[in-house]
Amino acid sequence: MKFKIITLFFLFSTFYQSTIDRRVGVWQIKNGILLKNKSNKNDLANYYWNEFNRIFPQKLTKKYIKRIVLMTDGIDEKTGALVSLNSRNDKWQLEIDIKDVDLKTKDKRRLHESVYTMVHEFGHLLTLNRTQIRPTTKERQKEGELYLTLEGEAYKNSYINRFVNLFWKGNLLERWDTIQKKYCYTEANCVEKLYDLYNNNRSEFLTDYAAESPEEDIVESWTAFVLRSRRIRKPRTIADKKINFFYQFPELVAYRKQIRKNTRKYLH
């Protein structure tokens, strides 16, 4: 049985606090346009927003993203986030750490990690927006029921519900749920046990962060789908199959093509 109060809530809540403590500024987005304010960082915010909006399908960015927060907690800590601003999942806040996401650096590794972060955060918008998740008062998900996220209940044919049904069935979801209930009262205990989950199932996860939750797993898999040069012809592991999962959706294949084209100058 899965509970709605999950690790993801703990991580998002602590990260959101960090953006308040170390934020550079907050800007509203209206109809895909950044609204300037009294900050002296308007040009910087406009640059980040315009690049994000240019790279990713505006069918989603313009429709859903209503606020952008620039912040920093130093290098390689919290790199970004995407947070729903209401229960309908039709208004979202994009958060970017300006030390980690640097699109003007000459450091190729940092450039790749910057693009990686943006593709990852867009993946949350893709998999958790109102067409994928509906509001619910349910707090528990029984075996075989529609997947329950912090944002609500997944539609039957949503990307994440299909993904969970394929890759998080049975013992894996049960072990993950046990970690949430027994160990996630502190961040340290939670992270340690989730890392153990990753180590014990390395062939199933692309990264250790993917073991944080099905929400992070699908987004890490989405990111690999976008950034890998081609489809895996002979997938040998479940992690490989997770990358190939997205090729069944023509719209996602089209998004992949668009994003790769729009990030080419950063990755080549």
- 35-65 pLDDT per residue, tens: 999 999 999 999 999 999 999 999 999 999 9
Tell me what pLDDT residue 8 has.
40
54 Rama class: left (phi>0) / alpha (psi -120 to 50) / beta: alpha
Question: If you average pLDDT over residues 81-89, what whole number do you get?
Answer: 95
Tell me what pLDDT residue 16 has.
39
- Residue 27: phi, psi to the nearest 5? -130, 140
Q: Is 240 helix (H, G, I), strand (E, B) or coil?
A: helix
Task: Point out which residues pair with 97 in neighbouring strands.
Answer: 71
- Residue 160: phi, psi to the nearest 5? -70, -35
Half-sphere exposure of 7 (CA within 13 A, CB side): 27
pTM for the model: 0.91
Question: If you average pLDDT over residues 203-214, what whole number do you get?
Answer: 96
Q: Domain residue spans in the chain?
A: 2-128, 157-267
Residue 157 CA to residue 249 CA, distance in Å, equals 11
